[in-house]
Homo-oligomer: A and B are copies of this chain.
Amino acid sequence: MKVLWLAAHPEERSLNSSLKNEGIRTLRDHGHEVQLSDLYAMKWNPVVDADDFGHSPTDRLHISSAAHRAYTHGTLSPDIRTEQEKVTWADTLVVQFPLWWYGMPAILKGWFDRVFIRGFAYGIDDPATGQALRYGDGPLTGKRAMAVVTAGARPSSIGPRGVNGDLDDLLFPLHHGTFWYTGMSVAPPFLVPSADRTTPAAFEDTAARLRTRLLELPSTPPLPFRRQNSPDYDPETLTLHPDLAPHSTGLALHYTDAP
């Protein structure tokens, strides 16, 4: 594999960083190539603004148009281009973060906001049908992604009936709305619950579980999201056909195995 590993924790002596180092070492020991974007170490700027696009402040900024223009003209900010080159190089993204307010830390959210712009990560139409290529088909089709998430919550509380909501639902904006939207396949997330009560023995178990998951990535069945450009969705309303998943509510609708 060619792995781009995104990390988003400010403390090098943290559980997150230990797992990052363990994961990267494991991959390299098994002959895989790894590039690391350690966003805190890089002092990554997560804020989209006109400077990203060399946009004149006197003109009204329409972000997706300005981004697309800068992308096609090669005038994007160099820090964005560097990250896009890593994504292009990689066949696998590992996106590792502590769950803050049930989502990504801002520094990581802003990596997607700035790097995954129109032209690069979405906004391509099928030349034959004119349909937008997204959700299962897109510029990043052929790549896979996996989230590696630490959370303070105990396991039951972030599961299917837990008070925090199920992790798969909480990560839907990343898994489905970002990875799958751009065409990537999505491996089930790797969760480290009760992360602020880790013991040395628990760390060893977690590290072993992570090593296994990483090395098995090429053969891991992805989350079975439905393709937008399939008969499952009405092409006009972009809603799921009424005879599909009649017994499901919520985000599970968008999995092909929903009852």
Is B103 touching A106 in the complex (CB atoms < 8 A)?
Answer: no
Q: Which of A172-180, A183-191, A203-211, A215-223 contacts B (4 or more CB under 8 A)?
A: A172-180
User: How many copies of this kind of chain does the complex include?
Assistant: 2
Contact with B along A151-178 (1 / 0, CB 8 A): 0111011010111111001101110111
Residues of chain B with a CB closer than 8 A to A103's CB: 103-104, 109, 173, 177
Least distance between A234 CB and chain B CB atoms (Å):
8
How far is B173's CA from A164's CA once the two chains are assembled, in angstroms?
9
Apart from A101-B109, A101-B113, 4 more pairs, CB < 8 Å: A11-B63, A110-B110, A135-B163, A165-B251
Residue from the list B46, B116, B174, B253 in contact with A106, Cβ < 8 A:
B46
Is A10 touching B163 in the complex (CB atoms < 8 A)?
Answer: no
Least distance between A93 CB and chain B CB atoms (Å):
14
A248 within 8 Å of B by Cβ? yes
Nearest B residue to A105, CB-CB? B113
Least distance between A168 CB and chain B CB atoms (Å):
9
Residues of chain B with a CB closer than 8 A to A13's CB: 60-61
Chain A count of residues within 8 A CB distance of the other chain = 66
Residues of chain B with a CB closer than 8 A to A48's CB: 10, 100, 105-106
Is A107 touching B173 in the complex (CB atoms < 8 A)?
Answer: no
Nearest B residue to A152, CB-CB? B64
Residues of chain B with a CB closer than 8 A to A250's CB: 166, 169, 248-252
Is A46 touching B49 in the complex (CB atoms < 8 A)?
Answer: no
How far is B173's CA from A41's CA once the two chains are assembled, in angstroms?
27
A129 within 8 Å of B by Cβ? no
Which residues from 203 to 251 on chain A have a C-beta closer than 8 Å to any C-beta of chain B? Answer: 226, 228, 233, 237-240, 242, 248-251
How far is B106's CA from A106's CA once the two chains are assembled, in angstroms?
5
Is B60 touching A237 in the complex (CB atoms < 8 A)?
Answer: no
Residues of chain B with a CB closer than 8 A to A233's CB: 163
Residues of chain B with a CB closer than 8 A to A196's CB: 62, 64
Which residues from 15 to 62 on chain A have a C-beta closer than 8 Å to any C-beta of chain B? Answer: 40, 46-50, 60-62
Nearest B residue to A44, CB-CB? B47
How far is B252's CA from A80's CA once the two chains are assembled, in angstroms?
38
Is B11 touching A61 in the complex (CB atoms < 8 A)?
Answer: yes
Least distance between A237 CB and chain B CB atoms (Å):
4
Residue from the list B105, B107, B159, B239 in contact with A157, Cβ < 8 A:
B239
Nearest B residue to A114, CB-CB? B106
